[in-house]
Amino acid sequence: MEMVLCMVLGISLAAACGFRVFVPLLVLGLMGRFAELPLTDVLAWTASTTGLICLGCATLAETLGYYIPWVDNALDVVSTPLALVAGTLMMGGQMEALPDVMQWGLAIVAGAGSAGVVQAGTSALRAASTAATGGLGNFVVSTGENIMATVGAVLAVVAPLLAGLGLVLLCLLGWMLLRRMRRRKMVTA
């Protein structure tokens, strides 16, 4: 059961990296430092003074950058590979009990995969918002992403099963919206 919780925790944290790359890392570091959350060797640096300062600055820059029209779309291009790396790190950091090949293989598939799916969804949503509003409505998308990244990361650490359930529900919602859009496209074609 412990391994399942670790996997759900890792996937949930990785998915939160798909919304914002640095927020989940900062949340994990703060909880490790101030809530005495035990961190694995792979993620212990996030709770160090240097790690918290760097992650805090990166989080601030990333968060503010997404509120500037057109800069937010440029950040999507840069943050996609970073989200994959952060998702891999978050997942791998939870699976230290496994042999290295399994730990990092699972981290790449499940961690980078979940971060990548979320990042692709948010990028598509931002592109649609930019097309519909000329970028002026993207602050609503950015605010939602900030909330999802923060709540998702905190929930993943505090209640991993609830975070996992939320992630499943988010995926179902995305799938239903995608099906609806495809049906509309077929009807108009």
pLDDT means per 10 residues, the chain with 189 residues, are 85 94 96 90 94 97 89 86 95 90 92 93 86 84 93 92 88 83 71
The total domain count for the chain is 1
pLDDT the model gives residue 188: 66
For residue 120, give its domain range.
2-188
Q: What's the alpha-carbon Rg for the chain, to the nearest Å?
A: 17
40 conformational bin, left if phi > 0, alpha if psi -120 to 50, beta if neither: beta
pLDDT the model gives residue 189: 59
pLDDT the model gives residue 22: 96
